[in-house]
């Protein structure tokens, strides 16, 4: 008896074909990177609770997703940590590159 796969694999859900190599490799989707950034901000805040402000520096697609579809998640995070989160586009960053700075 065999089991039929009824949904896509986790790698297929979280990644997309790489635009630089013609689809031979995979990169994380912008949504996956957004959630990774949110988790990292929360980790940093727990480690250094006296942080006054976070700045997320990422590619245009990730920042656009934060401003549109993931705006509510970003607002909830800011409410939870009682700290503003600034967004900054870095045009030379690839889809998976980001930096988080804080004051």
- What burial class does residue 62 get, using C-beta atoms within 10 Å of its C-beta: 0-12 exposed, 13-18 middle, 19+ buried? buried
Domains of the chain in start order, with CATH, are 29-102 (3.40.1260.20)
Is the pLDDT higher at 1 or at 69?
Answer: 69
103, pLDDT greater than 90: no
Q: Measured between alpha carbons, how far is 80 from 75 in angstroms, rounded to an integer?
A: 9
- Inform me whether the pLDDT recorded for 20 exceeds 80: no
Give the distance from CA 83 to its chain's centroid: 18
Looking at residue 8, what is its pLDDT? Answer: 67
Cα separation values, 51 from 17, 26, 54, 103, Å: 37, 35, 8, 6
């Amino acid at each position: 008896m065999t089991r039929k796969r009824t949904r896509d694999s986790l790698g297929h859900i979280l990644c997309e074909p790489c635009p630089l190599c013609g689809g031979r490799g995979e990169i994380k989707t912008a949504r996956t990177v957004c959630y990774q950034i949110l988790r990292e901000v929360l980790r940093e805040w727990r480690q250094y609770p006296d942080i006054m402000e976070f700045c997320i520096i990422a590619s245009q697609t990730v920042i656009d997703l934060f401003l549109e579809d993931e705006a509510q998640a970003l607002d909830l995070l800011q409410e939870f940590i009682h700290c503003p989160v600034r967004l900054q586009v870095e045009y030379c960053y690839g889809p998976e590159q980001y930096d988080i700075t804080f004051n």
